[in-house]
Every structure is written in C-alpha cells, then in structure tokens.
Amino acid sequence: MTYDADADWAAVDGQLLGTPVTPGLDGALHFGSVDEFVRDYLRHVYKRRVDGRSRCWAAEWWRSEEAVVRLEALWRSWEALRLDAATGMSEWFRDHADYHMGVLLDPDGPFAGATGDADTCRRGDPLPYAAPPEAMFPDVRVAT
C-alpha cells in the first residue's frame, strides 16, 4: 500500500501519531520525529549502493505504510537504546536496524520497483531522501 499524500495521515496508521513516544532515561528525545531520524541519522549510517535491483530504497519512503511503521520502530528503539553506553547501539544494530533495514532494502520489500534516479545511490552516499509533506511527522518534543 502506498501513502496518498492527500489522505488523512491517521488512516495510514492511527496509532503512530496517537501513541506517545517514550523518551530515553534522561527524559528527552534526541530526534523529534521519524522523519528527522531518517533524514539526519539513518540514511547516513546505512550507506549502501542502491541500484533498484539488488537493493531498493525510495526517497519518498513515507509513501509506504510498511516502511513508515518499520522506520518508526527503528527510531523508537534507537531512542530507548542510545543511552546504554555499554551495549545499546550493538543491540540496536543486531536486534533492530539490521533486521528491518534488510527487509526495507530487499528487492521484494516495500520499495520494490523504486528504480528512478531519485531512488538510487552509489556506495558511500547517504540513502536517497525526499522531504515528506509538511506536518506529516510533527516534532513530538514540542508541547501541544
């Protein structure tokens, strides 16, 4: 299923925006949204060659319901594990990131068919990124 930018975001996954994000032990989130997490962290950490055949990614990742839910899970788990200086990041990569990114980058995964120039990159380049519609992923650190 792809996300219709004109549809109500809550229809994609009503729990995403309605579920509070549990902050780290210090009481603060590092990233305010899954978009900020993908834009400023994840796509720079997972620098893989994406050719649309052996690995697939979509710059407009937010159009895929499955991708949004998986990336949200990656962000939330990263926020919870980042404060464990001993093994937190190792656990995050082993138990969360490598698993979900393997599914997301799989040629039969949610980005299958994303082969345009905007969806590919060379080895060492950040994963492609296109900004989602404004207000799609509000900063949850901001008090409402």
Reading the chain (144 residues) residue by residue, the pLDDT tens digits are 333 333 333 333 333 444 444 444 455 899 999 999 999 999 999 999 999 999 999 999 999 999 999 999 999 999 999 999 999 999 999 999 999 999 999 999 999 988 899 999 999 999 999 999 999 999 998 755
Cα of first residue to Cα of last residue in the chain, in angstroms, is: 30
The helix/strand/coil state of 121 is: strand
DSSP state of 90: H
Closest residue by Cα to residue 34 from 136, 142, 144: 136
Residue 13 falls within a domain, yes or no? no
Q: Is 21 part of a structural domain of the chain?
A: no
Q: Read off the pTM.
A: 0.81
CA 106 centroid distance within chain: 15
Count the domains in the chain.
1
Identify the domain containing residue 99 by its residue range.
Answer: 32-119
66 with 110: CB under 8 angstroms? yes
Judge whether 135 lies within some domain. Answer: no
